[in-house]
Chains A and B, each alone.
Chain A
């Protein structure tokens, strides 16, 4: 109706006008709609671009998290493979820095704290802006505990700050703080309150490390066992328990081995688990074959890590496969040309020094001139190898090796000076202290030697060489005023526990028991030492003679004494002293006396 009216009233011009208006309106509307939609599309595109950028950033972050949690955390864990001897610190800081990406960390010219600072800076740069990284923090916790053990408060503080930044879990923050304060009471409370079934494995692993670090090792062992039973598939927990048990001496050796096997099952490419298991097995003569098989598999599994190759070299040397050991140590140097311990082990190998368990070497006696020249050449080659090792890095191994060579070459003063400096630089290395004590004794400084041995035993209660040497000096030292038979028995028993298949500590225990008046047990131990060594020494027979005499078996005593004299062709001072004592006890006059 309206349209009809409109048509009626409109003239052709009006109609045209209306049509034009509609067309213009349509066109204008179309244009406005097009532009409006394009505006929306543009903003949608911008939003989509922003979302895509955010997703790409997130993806990159996720990739970085994976890289840090797997590659970096594992590299730090693998670097811990070098923690072989207790308190073997000097080389470890450099290894940590190299794992963190500091390429020139092995430069001996750089100070240890500077290297650590650089390593922490690198680590901070790699974790900046990332979400919590519990695996990395777990790896760092080991290094924090080590820094605390070495009384490097500054390094520990910086590493703790980094670990706290990447893992801000409140309970773990508290545990890290307690680690620094050595709060045994609070840690014990936390262990009692912990729910091993519900608490996360990283927290339990840190609690185990903290308990061990503050000296509650037995509590840590028990707690770790319960935690591992509830979280059997957590590598960090299993390896922490394994390392803890390995340091608890022979009684826990089997349990430590079990934990290492479990850790390897969970992470077959763990250089740390392979190396520490190999090191553990190498420590006992009867596990020698298992050690070699394990370390061969290790070098196939982790062929580019020097630590298992180095330990394999030591195991081969211990098993008297010297040529193969030499080649394997060269392989360790090929894997890491700055591997100073492997270079030092080459020197040790040349002079027959047991790098795993270094004892004073015996200089061959009465060699024909050709062989004597050969021995001198060998000493020179060993000296060169040890000096090269010290040029790579100042390690207790390099110093110990060079000091041994110098002593064998007759330079006792040079050896003493080298070891004195070594002990100053590596005050926490029990092995080096033990060696220093032996040279002090050779120089006639008996009191100082005993002090060093006692410190070595305090640093590492399972250092069998130091315990044996200290016990021998306390039982049969040249100065009777310094003898302490009761302490000698204690130290000798500890040394026997470490490797029951080693004759030397049983011999020492026999001597210490004689001095304590326990003649029956003395005889049993000396006979055991002879059985293990497949022959008795002149010193064994002297003490057997005296023990038998004390028990009233004079005829048997004389027979033992006769055997001692027949074996004592190249008598050392200890034998001469003891032989004279035995002769006096037996009422025999020594010829020429």
Chain B
């Protein structure tokens, strides 16, 4: 081999060596040449998660459940002392509404229904919705649904005061409802309890006390749409509500519309009352 040939060969070897060395150096610096499988029982380090963005606000209740609450305002509930036939219509409307929002109601089996309710999350809100079912069923004369809804609500929501109220409702014991009312301070109750206690009072024919309970609840929890809707319904309930009651009802409709802006029916009611 000629001298230039040898020189070229040497350069080739040197270049190849340098390239291989360069790549190995990079690989070592990257940690890709780190020994793997040499150490028995070595734990894999989890991949580093990217830094999260600002913690998103998790809604307390799911969107579909919230839509369901907003849609409740669209059900035309009859007056408290209305004909059971009208209430049966309302019960059917409630069932349709629930089903259309992914909350299929079948009170044949408590356990199955309870499992579905648990799967929805937000047990307090779902229990409150079941309490509404119970109220509508009571007025529609459907004792099976009435008691089943209350039983499931009681199993779903372990709040001690609400449990007492539901137990009293299941026992149909007016005295026990009044006992609960006497034991608690309306100002200390949360919104769900105030709503339930008022409904229980209404069921025991203490309409004025129910109204007072809901009023106190709405004052303490002005951001609770259920209390505003209950008050609006009750205040508008009379055949000829007094101007003051009608005006108060309009205020509660306005508040409910503010809290549930997605409800077109509430918006329309609020707009009508402003005219």
Query: Which chain A residues numbered 13 to 48 have a C-beta less than 8 Å away from chain B?
Result: 14, 17-18, 21-38, 41
Q: Which residues of chain A are within 8 angstroms of B16 by Cβ–Cβ distance?
A: 22, 25
Measured CB to CB, the closest approach of chain B to A242, in angstroms, equals 10
CB distance from B253 to the nearest CB of A (A): 9
Q: How far is the CB of A507 from chain B (nearest CB, A)?
A: 26
**CB-nearest residue of chain B relative to A59?**
B54
- A22, B17: Cβ atoms closer than 8 Å: yes
B25 touching A297, Cβ below 8 Å: no
- Given the known interface contacts A30-B21, A265-B259, the answer about A36 and B222 at a Cβ–Cβ threshold of 8 Å is no
CA A14 to CA B10, docked complex, whole Å: 10
- B228-265 CB contact bits vs A (8 Å, 1 = yes)? 10000000000000000001001110111111010000
Q: How far is the CA of A238 from the CA of B219 in the complex (A)?
A: 18
A477 is an interface residue with CB less than 8 A from chain B: no
Q: Are A261 and B222 neighbours in the complex by a CB distance under 8 Å?
A: yes
Which B residues from 99 to 145 make CB contacts under 8 A with A? Answer: none
Q: Are B258 and A25 in contact (CB under 8 A)?
A: no
Q: Known: A18-B13, A36-B26. Contact between A31 and B21, CB under 8 A?
A: yes
Q: Is A300 in the interface zone, CB < 8 Å from B? A: yes
Within 8 A of B (CB), among A289-309: 293-294, 296-297, 300-301
A283 at the interface (CB under 8 A from B): no
Query: Which of A21, A62, A262 is close to B258, meaning CB atoms less than 8 Å apart?
Result: A262
Residue from A30, A229, A257 in contact with B270 in the complex, judged by beta carbons closer than 8 Å: A229
Residues of A within 8 A of B29 (CB): 33-34, 37-38, 41
What residues of A have a CB within 8 angstroms of the CB of B6 in the complex?
6, 9-10, 14
Please determine whether B261 and A258 come into contact, CB atoms closer than 8 angstroms. no
Query: Does residue B171 face the partner (Cβ distance < 8 Å to A)?
Result: no
User: Is the pair B223, A265 in contact by a Cβ cutoff of 8 Å?
Assistant: yes
Chain B residues with Cβ below 8 Å from A59 are: 54
Q: Are A33 and B222 in contact (CB under 8 A)?
A: no
How long is the Cα–Cα vector from A17 to B10 in the complex, in angstroms? 9
Also in contact, A25 and B187, with CB within 8 A (given A229-B270, A232-B257, A265-B228): no
Q: Given A32-B25, A36-B26, A265-B259, A297 and B219 touching (CB < 8 A)?
A: yes
Query: Closest Cβ of chain B: how far from A312's Cβ, in Å?
Result: 13
* Interface secondary structure of A, over-half rule: helix
A293 CB, nearest partner CB in chain B, Å: 6
Write out the residue numbers on chain B whose beta carbons fall within 8 Å of the beta carbon of A32.
Answer: 18, 21-22, 25
Is A573 in contact with chain B by the CB < 8 A criterion? Answer: no
> Would A264 and B20 count as touching, CB distance under 8 A?
no
Chain A proximity mask over B20-34: 1 for CB below 8 Å, otherwise 0: 111111101110000
Instruction: Please provide the chain A residues from 315 to 356 with a CB less than 8 Å away from any CB of chain B in the complex.
Output: none
Closest approach, in angstroms, between the C-beta of A211 and any C-beta of chain B?
18
B88 proximal to A (CB < 8 A) = no
Chain B contacts with A in 1-49, Cβ cutoff 8 A: 1, 5-6, 9-10, 13-26, 28-30
For residue A55, CB closer than 8 A to chain B, the reply is: yes
Least CB separation from B212: chain A residue: A293
What residues on A are CB-neighbors of B5 within 8 Å? 2, 5
Separation of A23 and B14 alpha carbons in the complex (Å): 8
A residues within 8 A CB of B10? 17-18, 21
Are A9 and B1 closer than 8 Å at their CB atoms? yes
Q: Does B184 touch A at the CB level, under 8 Å?
A: no
B267 at the interface (CB under 8 A from A): yes
B21 close to A261 (CB less than 8 A): no
Q: Decide: A229 and B223 in contact? CB cutoff 8 A.
A: no
Which residues of the other chain, B, contact A262 by a CB distance below 8 angstroms?
Answer: 251, 254-255, 257-258
Kindly identify which residue among B54, B225, B255 contacts A62, using a CB–CB cutoff of 8 Å: B54
* Contact partner, B23, options A33, A55, A294, Cβ 8 Å: A33
A233 CA to B267 CA, complexed, in Å? 11
Question: Which residues from A are CB-within-8-Å of B22?
Answer: 29-30, 32-33, 36
**Smallest CB separation, B268 vs chain A (Å):** 9
Pull 16 A–B residue pairs with CB atoms less than 8 Å apart, ordered by A: A6-B6, A18-B13, A21-B10, A22-B14, A27-B21, A28-B21, A29-B19, A32-B25, A34-B25, A34-B28, A232-B258, A255-B274, A258-B247, A258-B251, A261-B222, A262-B251
Given contacts A22-B13, A232-B254, 13 further A-B contacts (CB under 8 A): A22-B17, A24-B17, A26-B18, A26-B21, A29-B22, A30-B22, A33-B22, A33-B29, A261-B251, A261-B254, A265-B228, A265-B259, A293-B219
Nearest 6 interchain pairs by C-beta: A33-B25, A29-B21, A29-B18, A30-B21, A33-B22, A34-B25
